[in-house]
């Protein structure tokens, strides 16, 4: 195990919270797509139940209008969640850079003054920071389970790792989860297009 310092632990925490936020965004995106699908199906069923009480043009216009409205709504949700995803990425990136910069400034301060109080404080707070990272990892895992449940894919419980992988692995996992949820969302959205 590579020796951890407060900077690496803090960056792990930031990334974990970023991944949790992305999982919530995925859940919102897929949940809204499912809601749109349900509304479209319910509307189509209600229009079909009217039978001959409405002429064919009115029924066709009612279904076409409903599809346009839900398409606008779905586009709005997609745009909003895509922008939220970009904002999370930028926030995680900036926070990580900020932590590195603060550590560099603290190191320069200690070298110039000869006072090592900041290093001592960082070493003292490391166990607490590691405990917070473990809790954040559990939260991230549960948010991923929630996103998968909403997407309708089978949920496989996995053991929480005591030690988190490097940033590249976390990014790869997030991308895989996003692809899985998008595939499920396309399956859910398919009946809407066919209706």
Which stretches of 58-191 are assigned E, i.e. beta strand? none
Question: What is the tens place of the pLDDT at every residue in 142-168?
Answer: 988 888 888 775 434 333 333 344 344
Question: What is the tens place of the pLDDT at every residue in 19-28?
Answer: 999 999 998 9
Question: What is the tens place of the pLDDT at every residue in 79-107?
Answer: 999 999 999 999 999 999 999 999 888 88
**What is the rounded distance in angstroms from the CA atom of residue 188 to the CA atom of residue 195?**
12
Average of pLDDT values for 52-76?
88
- Per 3-state DSSP, what percentage of the chain is helix, strand, and coil (rounded to 5)? 85, 0, 15
**What is the rounded distance in angstroms from the CA atom of residue 133 to the CA atom of residue 14?**
9
Overall pTM > 0.85:
no
């Amino acid at each position: 195990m590579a020796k951890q310092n407060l900077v690496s632990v803090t960056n792990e925490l930031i990334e974990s919270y970023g991944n949790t936020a992305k999982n919530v965004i995925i859940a919102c995106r897929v949940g809204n797509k499912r809601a749109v699908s349900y509304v479209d199906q319910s509307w189509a069923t209600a229009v079909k139940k009217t039978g001959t009480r409405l002429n064919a043009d009115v029924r066709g216009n009612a279904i076409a209008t409903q599809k346009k409205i839900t398409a606008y709504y779905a586009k709005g949700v997609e745009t909003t969640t895509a922008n939220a995803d970009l904002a999370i990425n930028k926030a995680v990136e900036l926070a990580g850079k900020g932590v590195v910069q603060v550590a560099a400034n603290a190191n320069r301060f200690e070298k110039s003054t000869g006072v090592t109080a900041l290093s001592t404080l960082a070493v003292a707070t490391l166990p607490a920071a590691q405990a917070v990272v473990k809790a954040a990892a559990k939260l991230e895992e549960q948010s991923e389970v929630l996103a998968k449940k909403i997407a309708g894919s089978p949920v496989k419980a996995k053991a929480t790792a005591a030690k988190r992988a490097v940033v590249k692995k976390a990014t790869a996992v997030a991308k895989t989860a996003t692809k899985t949820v998008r595939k499920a969302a396309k399956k859910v959205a398919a009946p809407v297009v066919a209706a």
